[in-house]
Amino acid sequence: MSQTLEAGATARARAHSNIALVKYWGKNDAVLNTPAVGSISITLDALYTDTRVTFRAGLATDELWLNGCRHDATKASRVLDLVRYSRGATLCAIVESTNNFPTGAGLASSASGFAALAVAATGAAGLTPTARELSILARHGSGSAARSIFGGFAEMHAGSAADGLDSYAEQLLPGADWPLAILVAITAHGAKPINSTVGMGATAVSSPFYLAWLATAPTDLADMRAAIAAFDFVRVGELAEYNCLKLHALMLTTRPALIYWNAATVAVMHAVRDLRASGIAAYFTIDAGPQVKVLCLPTDASRVHAALSTVGGVLEVRQSALGPDAYRLD
């Protein structure tokens, strides 16, 4: 690069949260943050993070401000370090992020957050990365963030290269090609007790099912890829629910156990099964938190929304369609 990175260089970006239909849990390499398994997700238009990155002179460290409060910037600095490295720059940055949904409660705020950071930081630095490069950059902040660079359906490849350059996500299908509805049943607003990074590290060393999880992931991914290619909603839903429960079997058999569910989480799972028994194709998936995301066809969304809203302990139900790629706001 001929120009130096100027103090005051700034850019804003928006990235949407995503939920995995085939989940990532476990790492190949903790430093590169490469996942031990691939994953497939959908991006949600209703949940997003807006992030501004400003490189400043005179800062001793990067600063991360999330919804107006200062947070530990260690993971953000991993992403910013790579951007600084490509510009041969040393300036620290202020990262100002806002989520339009509860943070750290299993709604994938790290996914949207680090995807928005990757787009804003490269934008502020005057770089023009490809979508794949952005995905790799976002992965250094959070594995699931690699998928939030893309709208619609995305697949993350675990990869095996020593430099992590084959560990990135790509789009399987734009959201407009297959409109689906996602109802997010929010059952708690607090941050989760054990974050995903710590939780998956504990699972890898203590769950007797971890090796089975690794061994069966390629089949789940191939089946999900085929179900999406065939626009087979029932198959997508069944596989998503199965893979979610397999993940939670791993979590429950971690020592100490990772129990992310509360009573309302379980009640929503039963409500979804009751909906299916009454003829509505609805399927749940749950990440490392107590919220339940329910997949259905747009024509069934209002009935599913009404059913979930009456479940005891459900605080709020948010409806979402599939979201777009991450993008610059300025």
The footprint of ligand DP6 (CB under 6 A) covers 20, 23-25, 33, 39, 110, 142-144, 196-197, 287-288
Q: Which two tokens stand for residue 88?
A: 């041969």
Q: Which two tokens stand for residue 291?
A: 């919220």
Which is closer to ligand DP6, CB of 20 or CB of 268?
Answer: 20
Which is closer to ligand DP6, CB of 9 or CB of 22?
Answer: 22
| Phi/psi at 28 (5° precision) | -80, -45
Q: Which two tokens stand for residue 302?
A: 């209002």
Q: Cβ(93)–Cβ(304) under 8 Å? A: no
Which is closer to ligand DP6, CB of 20 or CB of 44?
Answer: 20
Which is closer to ligand DP6, CB of 159 or CB of 300?
Answer: 159
CA separation, residue 325 to residues 141, 150, 167, 305 (Å) = 18, 4, 18, 26
Q: Cβ(245)–Cβ(21) under 8 Å? A: no
- Minimal distance, residue 313 CB to ligand DP6, in Å: 21
- Minimal distance, residue 30 CB to ligand DP6, in Å: 9
- Minimal distance, residue 194 CB to ligand DP6, in Å: 11
CA distance 109 to 47: 9
Neighbours of 215 (CB within 10 A): 10
- Give the N- to C-terminal CA distance of the chain in Å, as an integer: 23
Q: Is 312 exposed, middle or buried (0-12, 13-18, 19+ CB in 10 A)?
A: exposed
Which is closer to ligand DP6, CB of 55 or CB of 213?
Answer: 213
The upper half-sphere exposure of residue 243, i.e. CA atoms within 13 Å in the direction of its Cβ, equals 30
- Minimal distance, residue 153 CB to ligand DP6, in Å: 13
Q: Where are the beta strands (DSSP E) in the chain?
A: 10-22, 27-29, 34-35, 39-56, 63-66, 69-71, 92-99, 153-156, 169-173, 181-186, 282-285, 292-296, 316-320, 327-328
Which is closer to ligand DP6, CB of 55 or CB of 260?
Answer: 260
- Minimal distance, residue 70 CB to ligand DP6, in Å: 20
Q: Cβ(135)–Cβ(170) under 8 Å? A: yes
- Minimal distance, residue 40 CB to ligand DP6, in Å: 9
Q: Is 124 exposed, middle or buried (0-12, 13-18, 19+ CB in 10 A)?
A: buried
Which is closer to ligand DP6, CB of 77 or CB of 144?
Answer: 144
- Minimal distance, residue 278 CB to ligand DP6, in Å: 29
- Minimal distance, residue 107 CB to ligand DP6, in Å: 9
Which is closer to ligand DP6, CB of 39 or CB of 54?
Answer: 39
